[in-house]
Amino acid sequence: MGIVKYNGISTEDLGLIVQFIPSYTFPEKDITLDHVSGRNGDILTNNKCYRNSIATYYLAKVFRKGERFVASANSIVEWLHSSDVYTKLEDSYEPDYYRMAIFKNGGELSNYYDQATTIEVQFDCKPQKWLKIGDQPIAIGNGIIVSNPTNYDSRPIIEFDVLANNKVTITVGSNVMTLLPLESDTHITIDCENMECYSSTANFNKYLRLDSLDFPILEKKSNTTINISNNGLNPTIKPRWWTL
């Protein structure tokens, strides 16, 4: 019996079962086709990204003694609508991965004589399937090499502490980032996917300088050398590997 977990709550918590093994879904490439009159074929523009995909689960629940249909239906709907942003979606069929998903649809729960219910649930997912191992922080220092095992470039999260009035330089491959001195001791997070530099209380994008004018990537099927100056204390990197 499989388990689906969304926003920290699992089907098991709600007494739900997964009726069928879900299909393996993958996203559509974002490609634009334009036709020019008088010319054979269409002009193809590859936008070099992927569209969202849909993850579908067929769920069922047999009511325990004392449970009622409406109360059970409400608890399921509250779970599905428990997040207004993309949140983590996992299932036991692909235990090494997770997706970032949102449930945004309506739906209906069948009532089987107040004894059971079923529902088809569709989550709207970002195209990436994130490897859980890619979320584990790796301690970094001068000359550490990080190896991307996937066929897709990843944009990591880099974290470190910095003392007041100290400049920090981080080099990822050939990409150099410099954090200008701050007024106080701060724990810094650089999120290369969302292109943000921040602490728990403030945004520091204006203090971050990018020599290549872009946030660094860890190239697919490649080894990347990472260096950080001594002013960056307790530095770690989450490589954020992903696949389709």
pLDDT at 71 over 90: no
Assign 212 a pLDDT band (cuts: 50, 70, 90).
Answer: confident
Residue pair 201/121 in contact by the 8 Å Cβ criterion: no
pLDDT of residue 65: 76
| Choices 3.40.50.11690, 2.170.8.10, 3.30.70.20, 2.60.120.860: CATH for 134-243 | 2.60.120.860
- Over residues 219-244, the pLDDT tens digits come to 999 999 999 998 899 999 999 999 99
Give the per-residue pLDDT at 233. Answer: 93
Report whether 15 contacts 64 (CB < 8 A).
yes
CB contact at 8 A, 192 and 217:
yes
pLDDT tens digits, 90-118: 999 999 999 999 999 888 888 888 888 99
**CATH 2.40.30.200 placement within the chain:** 4-127
Cα 172 versus chain centre, distance: 21
DSSP characters over 67-94 = --HHHHHHHHHHHHTS-SS-EEEEETTS
Instruction: Indicate the residue type of 156.
Output: P
Count of all residues that appear for the chain in the document: 244
**Structure tokens of 62?**
């047999």
pLDDT of residue 145: 94
**pTM of the predicted protein model:** 0.85
CATH value of 4-127 in 2.60.40.3880, 2.40.30.200, 3.20.10.10, 3.40.640.10: 2.40.30.200
**What are the pLDDT digits (tens) for 160-197?**
999 999 999 999 999 999 999 999 999 999 999 999 99
Amino acid at 179: L
pLDDT above 80: residue 199: yes
pLDDT at 141: 78
Residue span(s) of the chain under CATH 2.60.120.860 come to 134-243
